[in-house]
Amino acid sequence: MRNIVLFGPPGAGKGTQSALLVDHFGFVHLSTGDIFRLNIKEETVLGKLAKSYMEKGQLVPDDVTIRMLEDSANGHPDARGFVFDGFPRTTAQAGALDAFLNEKGQAISGMLALEVPEDELKVRLAKRAETSGRPDDADPAVIQKRIDVYNAETAPVADHYQAQGKYQGIEGLGSVEDIFGRLRSAIEAWA
Ligand code: AMP
């Protein structure tokens, strides 16, 4: 069983690459952003709460996010492994994920971090806004806020996995296929 944290700033390609990893390796994909967006669409209480943070480019509070992620993972008892996309985004979330997996006799196998320069992220997010229908992609001020939040609160999560010898940087530029090839090789190289 392999559990992967697919890491990187907004616009790095985590969603695109997660879909390819699911197809190839049969992982279950858990994207906290996707789950929040589904809750917003279904107008749940959680969706209303999440929306108030997401539209400003801020993080949804840890307690809510962690509980939601754990519930979602528990909904897949037969999973052959998870690809966590957009989670953990704070060191508190990373600690909670370690504890959650540990209780099940599991662990994160590795963090694969897509590395993309900030200028390219902004170009990609502006382009994605044309088709994603995501309000948080459409406003340059919200995009900048998400990148700032990533640098301040999320980037330190890499240190958490680095300290466990589980961090691996992956060049996030080039074709979708080239980037997927790098991710696949990294996973296949794990014992
Ligand atoms: P994403 O789809 O991963 O780009 O996430 C979109 C938005 O959902 C983020 O800007 C946050 O507002 C919220 N979000 C997604 N994942 C998390 C998380 N792990 N912790 C807190 N907020 C999150």
Residue 191 within a domain: no
How do residues 91-143 score in pLDDT, each as one tens digit? 999 999 999 999 999 999 999 999 999 999 999 999 999 999 999 999 999 99
pLDDT value for 1: 83
pLDDT value for 127: 94
Distances (CA, A) of 154 to 15, 37, 151: 17, 20, 6
For residue 135, is the peptide bond before it cis, meaning its omega torsion is within 30 degrees of 0?
Answer: no
Residue with tokens 């991710």: 183
Q: Kindly list the protein residues whose Cβ atom lies closer than 6 A to any atom of ligand 1.
A: 10, 32-33, 36, 53-54, 57-60, 65, 86-87, 89, 93, 136, 146
Amino acid sitting at position 9: P
In 3D space, the residue among 52, 12, 56, 19 whose CA is nearest the CA of residue 34 turns out to be: 19
Residue 135 within a domain: yes
Please give the average per-residue pLDDT across 46-68, as a whole number: 98
Choosing from 14, 37, 124, 166, the catalytic residue is 14
Number of compact structural domains in the chain: 1
In 3D space, the residue among 24, 23, 21, 49 whose CA is nearest the CA of residue 35 turns out to be: 49
The boundaries of the domain holding residue 173 are 2-183
Which pLDDT band, with edges at 50, 70 and 90, does 15 fall under?
Answer: very high
Residue 19 within a domain: yes
Residue 161 within a domain: yes
**Percent of the chain having pLDDT more than 90?**
98
Residue 168 within a domain: yes
80 in catalytic set? no
Read off the CATH number of the domain in which 68 is found: 3.40.50.300
pLDDT value for 141: 96
Task: State the closest ligand 1 atom to the C-alpha of 58, by its place in the atom list counted from 1.
Answer: 12
Mutate to test the pocket of ligand 1, among 5, 59, 64, 153 (most ligand atoms within 8 A of CB): 59
Residue 126 within a domain: yes
Residue 189 within a domain: no
